[in-house]
Amino acid sequence: MFNFDNTYMNLPKLFCTEQQPAHNPDVAMVCFNEPLALKLGINTELQYDPKLFSGDRLPQGAKPIAQAYAGFQYGRFNVLGDGRAVVLGEHIAPSGRRFDVQLKGSGKTPYSRGGDGLAALAPMLREFLISEFMAAVDIPATRALAVVTTGRDVHRERVLQSAVLTRIAQSHIRVGTFDLARLMGGTSDVKALADYTIWRHFPSIKNSDGVNQYLLLLREVADLQARLIAKWMCIGFVHGVMNTDNMAISGETIDLGPCAFIDIYDPDAVFSSIDRHGRYAFKNQPAIGGWNLARFSEALLPLLHENATKALELAEGEIELYATKFDKYWLDGMRGKMGLLGKDEIDAQLARDLLKAMHTNEMDFATTFYNLAEASTLGDRWQHQWLARLARHGQNVNDAQKIMRLHNPAVIPRNRYVQDALDAAESGDFTKFSELLKSLRNPFIYHTKYSSPPVSKEKYVTFCGT
């Protein structure tokens, strides 16, 4: 079974509301993540009781809550919360690590703001696919444990099947949770949330002598975000909706609704239907990460120093460090993608020139890196510099190719193939979904279909699913 604890409920009432999931007429299991269940110490036999994953039957120890948070959505502040989700509790795995178990699509809550509280099948299956790929390529992200259908209808542009996703996360504490504490609560609420976050995610901070623990919290979160967004940029991932309510303090990728992966490389790539001005375009993600961290630091200011000017200086210093850290993590990632050992002063320019050539020549992001040694369309100048860089560090092309095969997946969740699998699943045929899921769980193995770019270059648009 689950091994639940419920410590989040000990925070001030501002942060959550007890909420029972909605009851459903006809629950059926669609997919269950056995490898994840085994890793978490969850009995895989539970998959045969789908009502546990819809909220119709609560596991022992579950105390469902809807979490409250706020967020700067496209730069504008809004009070938000779990409008279609409840956290059943915190499962403690055999390793001692703590994970939220959340039901997404489980019905209305006090934070639904007029919504129906439901989720459609295809977006939940999409989150399952994307999160499994992220795990396979070592990008921190929430995970999907199960998807069940409920027997309900969901009314969007058309009538769809309702589904509930069981999502696993280190926690659902967001920058937006701190936004709520700062702007709708007070310093005592910020302190309670910060202390809880340190206890849950950064316990080593408590053992640090002589340094303000809230400054260390800001530093740790900034480091995690720099690492995460650098990984996004190295894989061609576009989150799509980087509001502060979608930025997890744990450094996990969260809310995989409007996300997508670049096919033809374009730094201005936008897929989300609601990002009409490109605020969260691919190239803007590192800067938006810094903007979000600035909002996080604003919440912490009263805890950083009693002198407001000094507190601001400390916070600004950490935000500047974020940019430096991002550059380092991004360049380290690009060195792996280019098959480079060691460090060379030309590496950053070599990476930028490569991306520029890919953009100019309208080259596919994933296949270019996978076949970089044979990518003759990059031009003689770039190839000459790359080969010279290899030689200076005692490498040849074969050496580089071995490194590149470890850092460049042969398969990514290409938008068109994902949509084809979801369309078929909505019609009751899960063959394509199962085939694609298997390939995404083994992304460094070449696949005759999924490793090739789709023939169509039609602009792909993603939706949040609400």
pLDDT, tens digit, 9 for 90 and up, residues 26-38: 999 999 999 999 9
Q: What percent of the chain has pLDDT over 70?
A: 98
383, 232, 31, 24: CA torsion to nearest 10: -150
The answer to whether residue 11 is domain-embedded is yes
Together in a domain, 67 and 182: no
pLDDT at 455: 74
Token pair for 313? 């200086």
Chosen domain end from 294, 309, 334: 334
Find, among 380, 386, 376, 375, the residue nearest to 350 by Cα: 386
The answer to whether residue 72 is domain-embedded is yes
Together in a domain, 184 and 71: no
Q: At what angle do helices 431-440 and 121-136 cross, to 10 degrees?
A: 20
From the candidates 245, 263, 275, 364, give the one annotated as an active-site residue.
245
Together in a domain, 197 and 83: no
Together in a domain, 63 and 193: no
Together in a domain, 152 and 185: no
Together in a domain, 97 and 223: no
**CA 164, CA 138: separation in Å to the nearest integer?**
25
pLDDT at 284: 98
Q: Report yes or no: 229 and 328 within 8 Å, Cβ to Cβ.
A: no
pLDDT at 459: 73
In which domain, by residue range, is 14 found? 4-172
Q: Report yes or no: 218 and 296 within 8 Å, Cβ to Cβ.
A: yes
- Indicate the length of the chain as a whole number: 466
C-alpha distances out from residue 176 to 71, 184, 292, Å = 5, 11, 9
C-alpha distances out from residue 359 to 18, 285, 356, 362, Å = 50, 18, 5, 5
The answer to whether residue 294 is domain-embedded is yes
**CA 312, CA 307: separation in Å to the nearest integer?**
9
- Does the active-site annotation cover 245? yes
The answer to whether residue 126 is domain-embedded is yes
pLDDT at 456: 66
* Spans of the chain below 70 pLDDT: 375-377, 456-458, 464-466
The answer to whether residue 322 is domain-embedded is yes
**CA 436, CA 434: separation in Å to the nearest integer?**
6
The answer to whether residue 192 is domain-embedded is yes
Domain count, the chain: 2
pLDDT at 69: 98
pLDDT at 376: 63
pLDDT at 454: 84
The answer to whether residue 204 is domain-embedded is yes
Q: Report yes or no: 340 and 388 within 8 Å, Cβ to Cβ.
A: no
Together in a domain, 182 and 328: yes
Together in a domain, 87 and 228: no
Together in a domain, 156 and 292: no
Together in a domain, 49 and 17: yes
**CA 123, CA 161: separation in Å to the nearest integer?**
11
The answer to whether residue 371 is domain-embedded is no
Together in a domain, 146 and 181: no
Find, among 182, 291, 312, 198, the residue nearest to 244 by Cα: 291
Together in a domain, 185 and 326: yes
Chosen domain end from 282, 315, 334: 334
Chosen domain end from 147, 172, 197: 172
